[in-house]
């Protein structure tokens, strides 16, 4: 199929790398006008036809200004996030606040800023990147991360039910462990802090996946493309596991 998003305008946060980038690329290939944002705009330089904008998703003023500048969108993808490793005893007040600000409140900011114009346009699709490590299942040493992603699922369902009769659909994607530059850095950091080799830490992530391999950003983007398209017009308020069977 081609042209699945013809005529649609989409905004993707954290589009500089990993899942966000794969989603922006997939949307562009399928005909959408894509606004790609990232805290580091240099990561957006080679995204082709996408409209690239710097955005600090932790700034309400910056998000509101972007919404005024862009105007209405048909699809909003919230992909910005951060993984903090550790238990409750490892999590400081600052770690907690940063994690919730970036992983949850950034989505509150963008939804609140872009939803009014979506409603004026007659509807739209909101896609939030959550995680299998959330209310779906527990993952060791993901205390605050799991809490934030559970909150994302709750936020998504709340938006879905509040606007279900007004053409707004909101869904959450819950990936398993996915190959990305951020995962590579986390593996390096964890190897350093634990005294293990990089290869051993990477294998640990692979071994916990039921399929015996990591996912790819493109496999997550395929689900986002479905949820952005009219093919999913009867789907809202749901979690969509793309996790290689991790939650089984």
> Is the predicted pLDDT of residue 190 greater than 90, yes or no?
no
Residue 176 has pLDDT above 90, yes or no: yes
- pLDDT tens by residue, 67-86: 999 999 999 999 999 999 99
Euclidean distance between CA atoms 4 and 17, whole angstroms: 23
Please list the alpha-helical segments (H only) found in the chain: 18-29, 60-70, 93-100, 106-121, 143-162, 181-194, 198-207, 217-228
The closest alpha carbon to 145, from 209, 82, 217, belongs to 82
- Res 130 pLDDT > 90: yes
Mean pLDDT to the nearest integer, 137-162: 97
Beta pairing, strands 51-54 & 9-12: unpaired
Per-residue 3-state assignment (H helix, E strand, C coil) for 145-208:
HHHHHHHHHHHHHHHHHHCCCCCEEEEEEEECCECCHHHHHHHHHHHHHHCCCHHHHHHHHHHC
How far is the C-alpha of 128 from the C-alpha of 77, rounded, in Å?
6
pLDDT at 1: 60
Mean pLDDT of 214-233: 98
Query: What value does the mean pLDDT of the chain take?
Result: 96
Q: Copy the structure tokens of residue 100.
A: 């919730």
pLDDT interval class at 50 (50, 70, 90):
confident
Residue 128 or 210, more confident: 128
pLDDT at 229: 98
Give me the active site residues, please.
145
Neighbours of 86 (CB within 10 A): 15
Taking every pair of C-alpha atoms in the chain, what is the biggest distance, in angstroms? Answer: 55
Mean pLDDT in residue range 189-204: 90
Does the structure show a pLDDT above 80 at 238?
yes
pLDDT score of 101 more than 70: yes
Domains identified in the chain and CATH numbers: 9-177+216-242 (3.40.50.720)
Enter the pTM of the model: 0.95
């Amino acid at each position: 199929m081609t042209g699945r998003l013809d005529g649609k305008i989409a905004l993707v946060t954290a589009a500089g790398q990993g899942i966000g980038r794969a989603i922006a690329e997939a949307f562009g290939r399928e005909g959408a006008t894509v606004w790609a944002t990232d805290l580091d705009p240099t990561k957006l330089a080679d995204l082709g036809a996408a409209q690239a904008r710097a955005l600090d998703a932790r700034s309400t003023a910056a998000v509101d200004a972007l919404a005024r500048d862009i105007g209405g969108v048909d699809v909003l993808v919230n992909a910005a996030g951060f993984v903090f490793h550790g238990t409750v005893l490892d999590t400081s007040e600052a770690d907690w606040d940063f994690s919730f600000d970036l992983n949850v409140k950034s989505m509150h900011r963008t939804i609140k800023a872009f939803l009014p114009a979506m409603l004026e346009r007659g509807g739209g699709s909101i896609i939030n990147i959550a995680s299998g490590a959330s209310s779906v299942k527990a993952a060791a040493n993901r205390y605050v991360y799991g809490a934030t992603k559970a909150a994302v699922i709750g936020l998504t369902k709340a938006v879905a039910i509040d606007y279900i009769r007004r053409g707004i659909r909101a869904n959450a994607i819950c990936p398993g462990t996915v190959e990305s530059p951020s995962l590579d850095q986390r593996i390096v950091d964890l190897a350093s802090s634990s005294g293990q080799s990089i290869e051993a830490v990477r294998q640990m992530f692979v071994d916990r996946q039921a399929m015996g391999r990591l996912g790819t950003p493109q496999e997550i983007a395929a689900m986002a493309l479905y949820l952005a398209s009219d093919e999913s017009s009867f789907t809202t308020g749901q979690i969509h596991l793309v996790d290689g069977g991790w939650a089984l």
